[in-house]
Structure formats: C-alpha cells, structure tokens
Amino acid sequence: MTTCVSSGPRRRRRPPALRLLAAALSAAAAAAGPANAEPLSLHLDPALSSLAFTVSRPGETVEGKAPAFSGELRVDPEHPEQGASVLLRVEAASLETGNGIRDRTMRKSHLEVGTFPQIVFQSTAVLLQDTPGPLRPGTPRQATVEGRLDLHGVARTIRIPVLLRYDGASLAADGEVAFALSDHKIAIPRFLWMVLDDKVTVRFHVVTGKAG
C-alpha cells in the first residue's frame, strides 16, 4: 500500500492579471520615491549671487548694490508649493552706489542703519505660475513669491515674480521687484540739486545650495 505524504497546503498562484497589476504598482512606488521626503534646506551662496538696485529721476539713474547678504530656502522639489519658504537678510550698511558722499548720506539720513541694521524679507507663500508639478532639472519654472519686506522698521507685503532653475542639488532664482521708499517711511533721496524718484527697483540673481 502506498502512503501519500502531504507537503502542506498548496500556495495559490495569483492570476496573471493580478501579478501584472502588483508589478506595476511596485514600479510606480519605486519611481515616486519616499512618500514623505524631507524638504531641502538650502543656503544662499553669496559668491554666486548678486543683489542690485536702481533709483531714477528724469535723465538720471543711480545704480547701487548690496554686497553683504545671506539667506535660506526650504523646498520640497516634488511639492514646491507646499511649505516652501525663503528668508533673505541684507546688511543695510553695505549698500553702495559708487559715490562716497551719497552713500554716507543714504546710510545715515535715509536708511538710518544704526537703528535699522538689517533689511529682511520673509516669504509667506510660493506660487507656481505655470503648470503645477514637481521641479525638474533643466526645466525653468515661473513663480510668484509673496512675503513681508521689513525695511527701515516698516514691514510691507510684496509679491515678487521669479524664474526658478533647479538642477537636482541647487536652486537659482532671478527676478526684480519695485516698491516705494515712502511706504517704508524713507525720505525721498536728494543729492545736491537732484531729487530722485520715490520708487526703487531691486534686481537679484540668487543661487542656493546645501551647506558644505
């Protein structure tokens, strides 16, 4: 008499359609990466960045720059509009226009750098202006950064259009914004017989990367 020895319950094989579905879901999950990826913390690179400004009057334009500034950026490249933040600090005493007398007057009488040593911008929202979606290397993105500019002891909300470029390890931003000096209780600049406009235009090229 032959005795049959059972090797245990047979494992039921998935139908081919279910196996294909499971494989597709696994591949999609692997491509998407971690569900809760940490946002990138990036620091402004002053050696690769620039911050300039212009104040004009009919027939005359004064060009200036701010050599001393620092900042941080937090962003999740997969979800750039969710929780992104920008912080920029400018040392007011570093602003210069290439004319020593004018610069001393600007710092002492207009910016009052002894009382207000820093100019600070803190974002409150980052809004993509083109198709929503993740940041991808080689694909520039248009965005609007909204936040509060604290200048001369007065904080005002401003909106800054920017062009973003992401390369996988760093993020660059280019743009410009104009605002009125009188909004921040800054007297309209005068130099000899010239009275400059109330409006100042700020242009920037900012490069950020991971802290080394």
In the structure, what pLDDT confidence band is assigned to residue 211 with cuts at 50, 70 and 90?
A: low
Give per-residue pLDDT as tens, 6-23: 555 555 555 555 555 555
Q: What are the beta bridge partners of residue 209?
A: 43, 170
Q: Which fold has domain 40-209?
A: Lipocalin (2.40.128)
Give per-residue pLDDT as tens, 112-153: 999 999 999 999 999 998 778 899 999 999 999 999 999 999
Instruction: Let me know: does 210 contact 74? Beta carbons within 8 Å.
Output: no
A 10 A CB-CB count for 132 gives 10
pTM: 0.79
Residue-range domain boundaries for the chain:
40-209
Q: What distances in angstroms separate CA 2 from CA 5, 9, one per listed residue?
A: 10, 20
